[in-house]
Every structure is written in C-alpha cells, then in structure tokens.
A and B are shown apart, each in its own frame.
Chain A
Amino acid sequence: DTAVSQTPKYLVTQMGNDKSIKCEQNLGHDTMYWYKQDSKKFLKIMFSYNNKELIINETVPNRFSPKSPDKAHLNLHINSLELGDSAVYFCASSQGQGSDSPLHFGNGTRLTVT
C-alpha cells in the first residue's frame, strides 16, 4: 500500500544511454513532481505536473523529458546520460498546488552513470 512508489530503486548505466524512471501515486493527489538530490544532499525541483499538465519546469537540460499519462503517474525519461546526471531522483505528490500542501515522497531512485 505504498503511497508514492518509484522504480527502479537503483539504476546503473553507461554514458550515452537512455533510461526511464517510473513513478505512481495512489493518494489521489492532483500534483506530482520530480526532484534531484545531489551528492551533498541538496534537493532541487525539476518538474511539476498538475492533472497531467506541466506547471513548473526548472532549468533542466532538454535531455530530461517528463511524461504524465494520467494524474497518478509521472515518468522521467533521460536521453544521452552524462556523468553529472548521477544523483538520487525523488518523485513526490501533493493535493493541489498551494503552498500549504505538503509533499509525499517516494523512496528515491539512485542513478549512477559510469
């Protein structure tokens, strides 16, 4: 009964490859997010979707393409992976977009690019 689940948990791949990370939430939330946590634990938002529509797109290389087939899913596809993409990627969801809406996070996907 995991609320926000993302797969895979670990992903090791070589430079230049294309990979995807999947995220699903069963909380009935309207808004989903992708965050990147670097080696220094710093968390930065990448994308935010509300009811399948993109509402936040921070300065992220266009090699990263989010896709939301429905409001319960937000997948992240990464083309031409680079060493600097190595990080932990967290999916999250919230009810609404307001500043009072706390986030519910998945357990993260640790991406290692070699």
Chain B
Amino acid sequence: AQSVTQLDSHVSVSEGTPVLLRCNYSSSYSPSLFWYVQHPNKGLQLLLKYTSAATLVKGINGFEAEFKKSETSFHLTKPSAHMSDAAEYFCVVSDRSGANNLFFGTGTRLTVIP
C-alpha cells in the first residue's frame, strides 16, 4: 500500500532564507514521487517529479528534492525563499500498479515573512 506523510502542516520562513518541507513515503513498489504546489484559489501545479532516474531532482522556481530510499524520504528544498513561494505544497506518491493512482499528503502551508 502507498501512503505519504508530510511532517509539518505549516512552515514559516523569512524571505531569503532556506526552505525545507519534509515528506516521508511508504510504498510496496518502487515509487514515483511528486511535489505539487497550490496557490490560493488555484489548481495544483507540478513542481518536480522523481521516477527512478537521478535521486536529486530539480524543479521549477528553484525548488529541488532528494529521493533517499534508506530514509524513505523526499524532502523539498529551496536555498532562498521568495514571497511568491507562499502556498500549499503537496507531496504525492504514485501507485505503479498500472493505473495513475496518486496518493496525496495532507499538505504543508508555507508562509514567507517579509
């Protein structure tokens, strides 16, 4: 069975400081992992994805995530937060059974303080 745990429901950082959003997963298969961002009143937008290639994945807007199988983690990072990064972030694991069945984490709200 697949599941995702986002360890922090809310993270607050100052503008210009690093961002760390934590995600741990559980999967019976070799997983595909994604991070999506949701801005207020908008749909979810793909930030980056891991699909068994390089373990360090670079995404849009300066975000990146590292797949660590030994720790079953896929934490999202960014060296320097920008005000426009304030949003809800979802870590997602995919079921590789054949159907595109995604399991979403409960989300982490990122607040950026000017």
Contact = CB atoms under 8 A, between A and B. Distances in A.
A102 B99 contact: no
Contacts, number: 64
A83 interface: no
Contacts of A40: 106
B106 A41 contact: yes
A107 B43 contact: yes
Give chain B's interface secondary structure class.
Answer: strand
A26 interface: no
A113 interface: no
Interface of A: 4, 31, 33, 40-45, 48, 55-56, 90, 92, 94, 96-108
Interface of B: 31-32, 34, 36, 41-46, 49, 51, 88, 90, 94-96, 98-102, 104, 106-107
16 contacts: A40-B106, A41-B107, A56-B101, A92-B44, A97-B100, A99-B32, A99-B51, A99-B94, A100-B32, A100-B51, A103-B100, A105-B36, A105-B45, A106-B43, A107-B41, A107-B42
